[in-house]
Structure 1
């Protein structure tokens, strides 16, 4: 019989970590693919396709016609540079207080990265047969959705479901508000959500790769 001390050992503690790491990487890649697809489909259907563009414009007109523009603008007034900057500082600070410097960096990278992608995409994508400036994706929805994801990232595990529900609710309000205000079409909102999903995937994937690299160095 092989002595216990010299018997092959199975790194039981490493198995869950490897599985978690693999799952996180797969989820990140899925978010990147799904988010990118959402942006592409939104642009093709809502902008390039004439029938899709007509439906998109009709929904915007109907939403604007509800006469709730003033109320929508009052809500959107809270989504500005000062309030967003304050929210980022608070969320990053919360992550630092919890000893998660990596999450603090992720918050800043996510919010800034998603907004940069949105603005670059909006500037590069043309809107055929229209004198309007391209509005896809929505910058306001991008900000609110990215802050919602950042809240989930820094929330304690027990409060994560509550944070997720709050993020979904606030993002939904923002998506409806930009249409009621006459600022954005449905495709703009969907594209913004796609940008945030893809950016979240990039940020979390980069974090997972960095953790794996540190583990290899320390092994």
Structure 2
């Protein structure tokens, strides 16, 4: 018979932590679903549907007609293998300095994983009635957005709102640059954001499972 004296106990201070973990899991699951929906929706609405495809192309023509192609290319030239590699090293190093080896691994997994998914989709999806290669999702936007999320993950909690604003601004700039430079359509940008959101959610869920297995049971 279990009594109050023999029943497993959990400190009351653990309740907020449990609530935070539960909320994080819900948010991660939501990110996965919304990310997948963004990718599928972009492809169905802006690629497979003739009306949506025409509208997507019209926005691209309008953007490229603004005369800002040079500025767009200038921004995109900053997103290369050397710069991205350096950013990953710096972010992972910051996580290690803060004693967060798990976050350092997440940075690498997020940037590499999101890009692998993007390139897989780009190679596997097709544009009907077109001789052009598929450009959905945007690899450049995937890189910038994943680095932005990684920044938010590694900085102290107090700085995360500021890091989030910076990530949004830089990601938005990269998305606009790919369009005005004529490299990508708006749907490519939306799909890239969906890939990053889904990848972030998956990694968060995996991390929660691994932490749950390592956590000792109290009794």
TM-score range, shorter chain: over 0.9
State how far apart, in whole Å, the 2-side matches of 1:142 and 1:174 are: 10
State how far apart, in whole Å, the 2-side matches of 1:123 and 1:217 are: 46
2:123 is aligned to 123
- Alpha-carbon displacement from aligned partner over 1:9-61 (angstroms, at most 9, x marks no partner): 55202211211111111111100000000000000001000000000000000
2:34 is aligned to 34
2:165 is aligned to 165
Unpaired segments ≥5 residues, structure 1: none
Counterparts of 1:69-218 in structure 2 under 5 Å? 69-216=69-216
2:60 is aligned to 60
State how far apart, in whole Å, the 1-side matches of 2:136 and 2:216 are: 42
Any runs of at least 4 consecutive aligned residues in structure 1 with deviations exceeding 3 A, and if so which?
5-10, 216-219
What is the number of residues matched between the two proteins? 215
State how far apart, in whole Å, the 2-side matches of 1:141 and 1:48 are: 22
Deviation at 1:153, TM superposition (A): 0.2
State how far apart, in whole Å, the 1-side matches of 2:84 and 2:25 are: 29
Helix, strand or coil at the partner of 1:79: coil
1:18 is aligned to 18
State how far apart, in whole Å, the 2-side matches of 1:103 and 1:24 are: 15
**RMSD across aligned positions (CA):** 1.5
- Alpha-carbon displacement from aligned partner over 1:99-150 (angstroms, at most 9, x marks no partner): 0000000000000000000000010011101000000000000000000000
Tell which deviates more after alignment, 13-22 or 72-81.
Answer: 13-22
Unpaired segments ≥5 residues, structure 2: none
